[in-house]
Structure 1
């Protein structure tokens, strides 16, 4: 066992910074960059010697995200409006939601998005349904 601990101790100075929570945005960015490089190396190979390091670093980054970079609260209409703006889409170009009048009613707050509409928007734009969390079932 001592030989293994000696080997760990030799490399710990390089490994430890990857396993600690980020202390600031620069540290966070460095960890994300390291994870990207790890994932390029590991790929989908769960048996790769660095796969568990990639998983652990991902957990460290995720914990920091949840604690320090939480998503602002937004209504379903605000999320929809944002997606429309980002993708240059008009109210009449959202068949996942319905006719232009339905989209207009949602954007004005007269109607709420239903689960079918949320799933359709989520699929189209590649966003999680949790983006519309006020409507989760």
Structure 2
């Protein structure tokens, strides 16, 4: 165990920004960017070598959001419907989710959002992708 801690101590300066709970908006945004890049790299592949890192970064972001943002106690589809209504969007405006059939299935609760769609919705509505999880 002491040898492992020594190895961590040697590389810690290089990885501490990626593996520490953020304590400022700047650190939080840096982690969001890292998560975005990890999602691009890992996608839904749970066996990808960076999948555990993606999960860890997601947990660090979630910890920050829990302490710093008002929680939304709605399911992802309700959040999506709310954001669509607030922005005057219809099903036809949601092409980033897929075909009209896919959008309809998502809005009717017959299909869950995948990582690509969650990421796209976060960008479209300028919100944390976590609101759709």
1:43-74 Cα offsets, whole Å, 9 max, x none, are 2221222211110110110111122011489x
Shift of 1:39: 1.8
1:123 maps to 2:107: yes
Unaligned runs of 5+ in 1: 74-78, 90-119, 132-137
Tell me how many residue pairs correspond in the alignment.
Answer: 94
SS at match of 2:87: helix
Q: How do 1:96-135 residues align onto structure 2 when only pairs under 5 Å count? A: 123=107
TM-score normalised according to structure 2 size: 0.52
The residue aligned with 1:45 is: 45
Q: How do 1:25-64 residues align onto structure 2 when only pairs under 5 Å count? A: 25-64=25-64
> Cα–Cα, structure 1 residues 45 and 87, in superposed 2: closer, same or farther, change >3 Å?
same
The residue aligned with 1:19 is: 19
The residue aligned with 1:87 is: 88
How far apart, in 2, do the equivalents of 1:70 and 1:43 lie? Answer: 28
CA RMSD of the aligned region, Å?
Answer: 3.7
The residue aligned with 2:76 is: none
Structure with higher RCO (Cα < 8 A, 6+ apart)? 2
Unaligned runs of 5+ in 2: 74-78, 91-103, 114-130
SS at match of 1:17: coil
How far apart, in 2, do the equivalents of 1:11 and 1:83 lie? Answer: 44
